[in-house]
Amino acid sequence: EVQLVESGGGLGHPGGSLRLSCAASGSTFSSYVMSWVRQAPGKGLEWVSVIHSGGGSTSYADSVKGRFTISRDNAKNTLYLQMNSLTPEDTAVYYCAIPSAGYYSGTYYAQDFRSWGQGTQVTVSS
């Protein structure tokens, strides 16, 4: 089973940017649809974005559309999330995850994922 390790979290400022990475173990990363999910303090899990295994198709939650960009480098077994125009509402633990049912253009829910990383904390504050 693939193991996922997120990095790149930390303190961001309103209007600023952060870039998250998710390193995957194993040789099958390029066959997986990958996603980012977040959990804000005291709230449930929120799906953020998904990318097809080849990287050609992406989808975003309305809350991040136009501000966040998901991408992947299959040669490096790494998933990315470029976060721009940060707001305090983006404060959360961010997880990379593998959807059980693959790629589709729609909202994912917590039960839709079969593998998770340990998460990286993003705090947006002035």
SS3 of 16-27: CCEEEEEEECCC
Q: What is the pLDDT of residues 56-65, one digit of tens each?
A: 999 999 999 9
List helix spans (H) across the chain.
none
Q: What is the largest CA-CA distance in the chain?
A: 41
Q: What is the pLDDT of residues 88-120, one digit of tens each?
A: 999 999 999 999 988 888 899 988 999 999 999
Q: What is the pLDDT of residues 1-57, one digit of tens each?
A: 789 999 999 999 999 999 999 999 977 999 999 999 999 999 999 999 999 999 999
Contact 71, 51 (CB under 8 A): yes
pLDDT given for residue 84 in this prediction: 98
Shortest CA distance to 92 belongs to which of 122, 62, 116, 64? 122
pLDDT given for residue 95 in this prediction: 98
User: Is residue 82 predicted with pLDDT exceeding 90?
Assistant: yes
- Surface-to-core class of residue 37, CB atoms within 10 Å of its CB (0-12 exposed, 13-18 middle, 19+ buried): buried
pLDDT given for residue 102 in this prediction: 86
Instruction: Mention every residue, 6+ apart, whose C-beta is less than 8 A from residue 58.
Output: 49, 50, 51, 52, 69, 70
pLDDT given for residue 110 in this prediction: 87
